[in-house]
Structure 1
Amino acid sequence: MNNVTSPSRQGNARTIFNVTSGNFLEMYDFMVFGYYASAIAKTFFPGDDPFASLMLTLMTFGAGFLMRPLGAIILGAYIDRHGRRKGLLLTLGLMAMGTLTIAVMPGYATLGMAAPVLILLGRLLQGFSAGVELGGVSVYLSEIAPEGRKGFFVSWQSGSQQIAVIFAALLGLLLNHLLDKGQVTEWGWRIPFIIGCLIVPFLFWIRRMLEETEAFSQRKHHPTLRQVLRSVVRNWALVLAGMLMVVTTTVSFYMITAFTPTFGKTVLMMSDKQSFFVTLCIGVSNLFWLPVMGALSDRVGRRPLLLLFTLLMIATAWPVLHWLVNAPSFSHLLEAELWLSFLYGSYNGAMVVYLTEVMPADVRATGFSLAYSLATALFGGFTPAICSYLIHATGDKAMPGVWLSIAAVCGLAGTLLIQPLVKQYRARRLAEQAVSWP
Structure 2
Amino acid sequence: MYKQKSLWWVVIPVLCSGLVWFNYYAYVNSSSVFSRLFFKSFPEPIRVVSVLFVFSYIMQLLGAVIIGYIGDKRGRIIAINISGSFMCVGTIIMGLVSNIVSIFASQVMLMLAIALQGFGLGGIKVGFDLVIGESYAKSHNIVRVTSFNMMLTEMFIMFNSIIGFALAHCLTWEQFSLFGWRIPFLLGGLLLAILILSFNLVHKDELHVQQLYGSGNMSLWRSLVLYREVVLFLFLIDMNIFSTYFLVSSFLPHILYAIGIIEFKYTYVLTLSTNTIFLGAIMMSSYIADKFRLRMAIFNFGMIVICTTTIPLFKVVEQTDSIVKIISLFAFTGFIVGAYFAPITTIAIELITDQWHRYKIMSFAFSLSGLMTACLPMVALGLYNKFHKFSVIGFMMSISNLACLLICNVLFWKIKQSHKKG
Do the two structures share a fold, i.e. TM-score over 0.5? yes
User: Where do 5+ consecutive residues of structure 1 fail to align?
Assistant: 431-438
C-alpha spacing 1:61/1:352, structure 2 compared with 1 (3 Å): same
Contact 2:280-2:335 within 8 A present in 1 as well: no
Partner of 1:387: 380
Which amino acid in the other structure matches residue 321 of structure 2? Answer: P
Which residue of structure 2 aligns with residue 206 of structure 1? 198
Please state how far the C-alpha of 1:204 moved relative to its aligned partner. 2.0
Detail structure 1 runs of 4+ shifted over 4 Å in the superposition: none
CA–CA separation in structure 2 for the residues paired with 1:182 and 1:388? 28
Relative distance call for 1:260 and 1:332 in structure 2 (3 A) is same
| 1:26 paired residue among 11, 20, 29 | 20
Q: Which residue of 2 aligns with 1:355?
A: 348
Is 1:340 matched with 2:333? yes
User: Alpha carbons of 1:254 and 1:161: their partners in 2 closer, same or farther (altered >3 Å)?
Assistant: farther
Other-structure match for 1:120: 111
Work out whether residues 88 and 193 of structure 2, in 8 Å CA contact, stay in contact via their aligned partners in 1: no
Call closer, same or farther: CA 1:347–1:180 in 2, change over 3 Å.
Answer: same
**TM-fit CA distance, 1:345:** 0.4
* 2:395 alignment partner in structure 1: 402
Partner of 2:245: helix, strand, or coil?
helix
Q: Secondary structure at the match of 2:67?
A: helix
* Shift of residue 213, structure 1, vs aligned partner: 9.4
Partner of 1:250: 242
* Maintained 8 Å contact 1:159/1:290: yes
1:342 Cα deviation (Å)? 1.1
* Contact 2:29/2:250 (8 A) holds in 1: yes
Residue type at the aligned position of 1:170: I
Q: Structure 1 pair 88/414, CA: closer, same or farther in 2 (3 Å)? A: farther
Which position in structure 1 is the counterpart of 2:412? 419
Q: For 1:424 and 1:36, how far apart are their aligned partners in 2?
A: 46
**1:188 CA displacement:** 2.5
Q: Compared with structure 1, are the counterparts of its residues 46 and 72 closer, same or farther at alpha carbon in structure 2 (3 Å cutoff)?
A: same
Q: Match of 2:4?
A: 5
**How far does residue 152 in structure 1 lie from its aligned partner after superposition?**
1.0
Uncovered stretches (5+) of structure 2, i.e. residues with no partner: none
Render the CA deviation track for 1:250-278: whole Å, top value 9, x for unaligned. Answer: 11221232124314423462223333223
| Shift, 1:407, TM fit | 4.4
Identity of aligned residues (%): 19
User: SS where residue 258 of structure 1 aligns?
Assistant: helix
* Distance of 2:31 and 2:93 partners within structure 1: 16
Instruction: Write out aligned runs for 1:204-283 (5 A).
Output: 204-208=196-200, 209-210=202-203, 211-212=206-207, 217=211, 222-224=215-217, 226-267=218-259, 269-283=261-275
Post-superposition offset of 1:326: 0.9
Q: Deviation at 1:56?
A: 0.7
For 1:139, which of 113, 130, 134 is the aligned residue?
A: 130
- 2:164 pairs, out of 155, 161, 172, with 172
- Given the alignment of the two structures, is residue 98 of structure 1 paired with residue 93 of structure 2, yes or no? no
Contact 1:242 1:414 in 2 (8 A): no
Q: Note closer, same or farther for the CA distance 1:386–1:206 as it changes in structure 2 (3 Å cut).
A: farther
| Cα distance, 1:384–1:171 mapped onto 2, change above 3 Å | farther
For residue 424 of structure 1, report the CA deviation from its aligned partner: 5.9
Letter in 2 for 1:5: Q
Once superposed, what is the RMSD of the aligned Cα atoms? 2.6
Q: Offset of 1:305 from its aligned partner?
A: 0.9
Residue 188 of structure 2 corresponds to residue 196 of structure 1: yes
AA in 2 matched with 1:29: N
In structure 2, relative to structure 1, the CA distance for the partners of 1:351 and 1:213 (3 Å cut) is farther
Q: CA deviation at 1:341?
A: 0.6
2-side partners of 1:164 and 1:389: how far apart?
32
Partners in 2 of 1:248 and 1:160 — Cα distance?
A: 22
Measure the CA separation in 2 of the matches of 1:261 and 1:395: 16
Q: Which letter maps to 1:250?
A: F
Q: 2:11 aligns with which of 4, 11, 17?
A: 17
1:62 counterpart (54, 61, 67): 54
Give SS of 1:106's match: coil
1:27-54 alpha-carbon deviations (Å, 9 max, x no partner): 22222222221221232223152xx212
Q: Which amino acid in the other structure matches residue 92 of structure 1? A: G
Distance 2:253 2:359 in 1: 33
User: C-alpha offsets along residues 287-334 of structure 1, whole Å, 9 cap, x if unaligned?
Assistant: 221132122112332111111111111111111121222123122112
- Structure 2 residue aligned with 1:299: 291
Q: Does 1:45 align with 2:39?
A: yes
Tell me the SS of whatever aligns to 2:324. Answer: helix
Aligned length: 416
Take 1:59 and 1:316, find their aligned partners in 2: how far apart are those partners?
29
**2:310: which partner in 1?**
317
CA distance, structure 2, for counterparts of residue 218 and residue 91 of structure 1: 16
Pick from 110, 115, 131: which aligns with 2:101? 110
Contact 1:248/1:408 (CA < 8 Å) preserved in 2? Answer: yes
Instruction: Decide which moves more: 115-124 or 370-379.
Output: 115-124
CA change 1:79–1:15 in 2 (3 A) is: same
Q: Which deviations, in whole Å up to 9, do the C-alpha atoms of 1:345-383 show, x marking residues without a partner? A: 01101223212221242201111111111100112x334
Residue 308 of structure 1: aligned partner: 301
Say if 2:81 and 2:196, in contact at 8 Å, map to a contact too. yes
Residues in 1 aligned to 2:152 and 2:391: alpha-carbon distance in whole angstroms: 29
Contact 2:63/2:120 (8 A) holds in 1: yes
- Counterpart CA distance in 2 for 1:116 and 1:425 is 50
Secondary structure of 1:110 counterpart: coil
Q: Distance in 2 between matches of 1:276 and 1:260?
A: 11
